[in-house]
Amino acid sequence: MVTDTTPSPSSRWRHLPTAARLLLGLVFFGSGLAGLLMPVPPLTSPPMPEGLVALFTGFLKSGYFFPLLKVTETVVGVLLLSNRFVPLALAVLAPLVVNIVAVHLFLERSGLAVAGLVLALHLYLAWTYREVYRPMLAARVRP
C-alpha cells in the first residue's frame, strides 16, 4: 500500500500566521527596545530630509512622545511574540504602521521596502483575525 506523504495545501500554509506574528513581533520588539536602550542618534548623520528632521525633533522636544512610542512598540512586540492579546496588539499597532508607511512614503523613501513588509504582515494578521474584529466594525450596536 502506497501512502501519499505530500502535505495538503492547507497544512503547508498553517504556520504562516505564526511566522507573520513572530516576524512582526520581532520587528517591533527590536525597534522599541533599541529606542529605549540606545541614545538617540544625531539627526544630522547621515543627512536626513528636512521634514524628517522636523518630525523627529518634535517627537524629542515633546519630552514624552518618543519614550511612549518605544514603550508601546516594545509591549506590542512582546504581546505578538508571546501570542497573548494578539488582536488587541494589532489594533494598537495600526496607527503606528500607518505612520511608518506615511513617513517612508512622503519623507524618506529609503525604508519603503521594510515599511511595505510591515504593512503587509500587519494586514495579513488583521485579516487572519478578522472574526475578532467583526463586532467592532458593526455600523450600529446597542450598549
Instruction: For residue range 8-66, list pLDDT tens digits in order.
Output: 556 778 899 999 999 999 999 999 999 899 876 666 567 788 898 899 889 889 999 99
Per the listing, cell 548623520 goes with 45
Cell of 68: 511612549
Angle at 43 between CA 37 and CA 45, to 5 degrees: 100
Reference 15, options 27, 4, 26, 7; nearest CA is 7
Instruction: For residue range 89-116, list pLDDT tens digits in order.
Output: 999 999 999 999 999 999 988 889 999 9
Instruction: For residue range 118-139, list pLDDT tens digits in order.
Output: 999 999 999 999 999 999 888 9
How far is residue 43's CA from residue 40's CA, in Å, rounded to a whole number? Answer: 8
Reference 101, options 87, 115, 114; nearest CA is 115
